[in-house]
Amino acid sequence: MGLLDFFRSARPNKGTASVAKERLQILVAHDRAERHRPSYLPRLQREILEVIRKYVDVDMNAVSVNYEQDDQHEILELNIILPDGAQRA
Amino acid sequence: MARIIVITSGKGGVGKTTTSAALAMGLALRGNRTAVIDFDVGLRNLDLIMGCERRVVYDFVNVINREANLNQALIRDKRCDNLYVLPASQTRDKEALTKEGVGTVLEELSQTFDYIVCDSPAGIEHGATMAMYFADDAIVVTNPEVSSVRDSDRMLGILSSKSRRAETNAEPIREFLLLTRYSPERVARGEMLSVDDVQEILSLELVGVIPESKAVLGASNAGVPVILDKESDAGQAYSDSVARYLGESVPHRFLEVEKKGFFSRLFGG
């Protein structure tokens, strides 16, 4: 460590490690949620969408399927956004 | 019955082979009959790190294919009578390690050894999954760096789903974190993830922190497991890690920046 570093080290920490930690926390949480998700979810979402589209003209992105898990139970959450003034059969 | 330990990481170049060599030697030096197996088929390197590359006659795949028996393939370490190396094959056939074959070899080793250390190749391909499948314990080698930490987390997922213990609903694999290439100076400057950061993200039991050290390259140059370099920081850190793995409570060293005198700070030291 030379003279310059001596003065540099006196400055408060302003490194990139905190950025790394933040990014990793988000990423790892996301990866872990994905890992515990049942493998049928994408297919379920596609089939639900197909059924709904028989009756209502909804957008491809109008159906969201969420899967959450805690100690006691698993929650499968379906969210379907119907367009304004949708024609009902 | 032997305890089977896999040294894994996902990412390459983080120190799996260095760790396998050091840990196996450490266990053997404490009087345990230990075998260390190279699972990196096609890219054999453990023999080089252990310094026995010129004594390889038969390898792991020869034993699986019954072209040689275990005693012919195991290389006894010249520095420690309790330690044996089973080298990987240089064949390019990655599928040469069959699950049945690996299982049979580990079963046979289990009869006479206390510990079997499996040096996993990088990645999540066949060799890596074979190295971890039969494990009782896993040491996840991680560098304080984003891609390594992420890959380690991926490996934890695979360990908990694609191992014999997972498939048979047995007690899960014990998982330990070994942080390598740690630089307290860079952590102090905020340039590197700290031990606490990595532990918080992976939430694993910390078995050791190996400082970034010149001794590691020196040891691999010479074909001597770095744990035998008892003067070196890395060697001591590996010794501590072996003790912790065996259940001893040893305080962590080399986590703080070494205090330097005013003059060495001023003129470099």
- Mutation target for A interface from B145, B197, B267: give the one with most A CBs within 10 A: B197
| Interchain CB contact of A25 with B (< 8 Å) | yes
ipTM of the complex: 0.84
Binary contact (A18, B190; C-beta < 8 A): yes
Three-class SS of chain B: CCEEEEEECCCCCCCHHHHHHHHHHHHHHCCCCEEEEECCCCCCCHHHHHCCHHHCCCCHHHHHCCCCCHHHHCEECCCCCCEEEECCCCCCCHHHCCHHHHHHHHHHHHHHCCEEEEECCCCCCHHHHHHHHCCCEEEEEECCCHHHHHHHHHHHHHHCCCCHHHHCCCCCCEEEEEEEEECHHHHHCCCCCCHHHHHHHHCCEEEEEEECCHHHHHHHHHCCCHHHCCCCHHHHHHHHHHHHHCCCCCCCCCCCCCCCCHHHHHHCC
According to DSSP, residue A82 is labeled P
What pTM was computed for the model? 0.84
Binary contact (A16, B190; C-beta < 8 A): yes
- What is the pLDDT tens value at each position of chain B, 269 positions in all? 899 999 999 999 999 999 999 999 999 999 999 999 999 999 999 999 999 999 999 999 999 999 999 999 999 999 999 999 999 999 878 788 999 999 999 999 999 999 999 999 999 999 999 999 999 999 999 999 999 999 999 999 999 999 999 999 999 999 999 999 999 999 999 999 999 999 999 999 999 999 999 999 999 999 999 999 999 999 999 999 999 999 999 999 999 987 766 666 666 54
Interface of B with A in 142-171 (CB under 8 A): 145-146, 149-150, 153-154, 157
* Cβ–Cβ pairs < 8 A, chains A and B: 62
